[in-house]
Structure formats: C-alpha cells, structure tokens
Amino acid sequence: MAAGFPRISAEDAYRATMGQRAAKWPMRSSNRVEPVAAPVVTPSFQLQPGASVFTIGSCFARNIEISLRDHGLRIPTLDLQVPATELMQGSALRTGILNKYTPFSMLNEIENVGAEDDGGRFLIDLGEDAWWDGQLHSHETVSRERGLKRRRRIRRLYAESIAESALVIVTLGLVEAWWDEAEQIYLNDTVPRHVIDRHPGRFFFEVLSPEKVIDAVMRLVSSLHALNPTQHMLLTVSPVPLHRSFTGNDVLSANAYSKSVLRVAAEIATRSFDHVDYFPSFESVTLSDRAIAWEDDLAHVTPAMIELNVSRMIAAYMPAASETAA
C-alpha cells in the first residue's frame, strides 16, 4: 500500500507545483477547460491492446464498456443477455441490469463471488412466486427459480470476468442508500413503493456518511485485489447526478454532497493502493460546456463526451494502440 496524505516540506511542495504546468488553474488565455475540460491523466501502468477489462458501476460505466469494446478491448460483462422483460422500463441496454450505484451494492456483489450460499438473500418475496432482486437495476419481478438461476449466472460472470481481466474500472455512483433490515444488507437502488407497502417497517433510507463510504470503497478495492492480485484498477466517479433526492433537500445540494464524498473516497483509495489510479472523467464532464457534455435530460452524458473520455483513457494507458489508430 502506498502513502496516504503525508506532510511534505515546503521546498518539496514548491518543486511539485513548479514541475506540473497543470498545477495552476487555467485562464482563457491558456484554456483547457472551455469548451471541453481536459484534466491531466498520469498513468502508473500500461494496458495491452485487446486486453480484458471488467467494469462495475452505474449507467456511465455501461456506456464506457461499449466505447472500450469499440477500441478493441475485451469486455466480458457485455456477454450477459437477459430477457427484455426483466429490464428496467425504458432501459436501452441489456447489461443495464448490472448497474451498481452505491459502494456497498458493489461490495455486496464482489463479496458474493466467493460465497457458498445460493444468493437467495438478495431476493425479496412479493407473493405468488414473484421475487424482486434488490441488488440489480430492475423493478421487474421473476419466479424464485429464475431469480436464483440469474444469480448463479451473474456470480459466474463476475468470477470469470475478474479472473481474466487485466484491468477493473470502478465507477462510483451515489451515496443515498436503502437498507434491508430483514437481511441486514444495503440494496442497490431505490426500493419501489409497492415493495415497501408489501413489507412495512423493513426498509430504511440512509445518506451514507463519509466514514462509511471510505470504508466501503477501501473494502471494495481490497476484495477485488484479493480475487485477482495481478489486476490494475481505475477508480472513477460517475458524473451522472442523482435523479431524485430522498433527503427532502434540493437535489442540487444533495448531489454535490454525494459526489464530493465519493471523490474523497476515490482519492484516499488511490493514494493507499499502488495498483490503483484515478481517472478524471468526472472532472472532464462536469467542468465542460453543459451543451456539449449533457443530453437534453441534463442527467446523462452525451455519446461524444463519453467517447472523448475513453479516447483519452486509451491514449494514456494504451499509447501504442492510440498511435496505430491515428
């Protein structure tokens, strides 16, 4: 593990800032923020062309997967196929069911890779053999038999993907979380109202504290590394904002807290583990011209902005492949 936040001499601090041109906030006369922000990327490792990459995170991670595949990388999670009837209404991607939002929901899935149970604790009974999987991004119910079969498929997918991949990209999403008191576990997504009505008093809402988020991210990084010690990691924060806050506060303020805490956790993990880099896609998107960065819903990132960030990632971590493409 690398050092965290060490105190350095004033002389070293001056050497650090003078040795990095990007250390000073840019002006319009030397603009690298408008119209598209381009934070410096400093890779600590290199990725081979055609390498396998495992991704876990929100819808932003799903879109990154597609762009990475188009750059010739192997993305094993794209192999997952589920019936359209099991997807969240309005979902355009079959892999969208794998969206993971909070650090704890990601941790649950990774720790489940080596579990000996059948994954049934993730299924919530809604009666008449209708079961909701609280760890997936879908409000649709399935039979218990189908729910357990799907659980086995996802466990196998995660195990094989992590084992074969040279790189894992973790995209942290949000910190407004839902707790299942009966199973003593955090859920992945907002609990549908009809599920709450079916099980009154079972579910609780929680804004995760900085301490809990940092602990979960550190455990997540450690768990992934234990499954594949040769694997490198890129930590990112999803720029996609909260669609709705359940705090009773303005979603703009709630989202600022959420992303700030996740960014802090990512920084601490990056400084604490030698095999982890931070990739500044969050900064690139949120600091860029909104007309360029965001779809009309002001929540989802435009394909052009996603491709720009993936291209910058490829250029930094696979320079030979980037030069060949050019």
From CA 247, how far away is CA 59, in angstroms rounded? 22
pLDDT at 191 over 90: yes
Q: What is the DSSP letter of 230?
A: T
Mean pLDDT of the chain: 94
- The pLDDT of residue 124: 98
Could you tell me which of 216, 220, 199 has the C-alpha nearest to residue 208? Answer: 216
Share of the chain above pLDDT 90, in %: 88
pLDDT (tens digit per residue) in 14-73: 999 999 999 999 998 888 999 999 999 999 999 999 999 999 998 888 889 999 999 999
Six-digit token string for 29? 């006369």
Q: What is the pLDDT of residues 224-261, one digit of tens each?
A: 999 999 999 999 999 999 999 999 999 999 999 999 99
Query: 170 CB contacts (<8 Å, ≥6 apart)?
Result: 56, 57, 106, 220, 221, 224, 233, 234, 235, 236
User: Do residues 174 and 256 touch, judged by C-beta distance below 8 A?
Assistant: no
90: left (phi over 0), alpha (psi -120 to 50) or beta: left
What's the token pair of residue 116? 């000996």
- What is the residue-wise DSSP string for 26-42? P-GGG-SSSSS------
Summarised one tens digit per residue, pLDDT across range 57-106 is: 988 888 899 999 999 999 999 999 899 999 988 777 788 999 999 999 99
Cα–Cα distance, 167 to 46 (Å, whole number): 10
Alpha carbon distance 212, 107 (integer Å): 12
Instruction: Kindly tell me the burial class for residue 118, based on how many C-beta atoms sit within 10 Å of its own C-beta (0-12, 13-18, 19 or more).
Output: middle
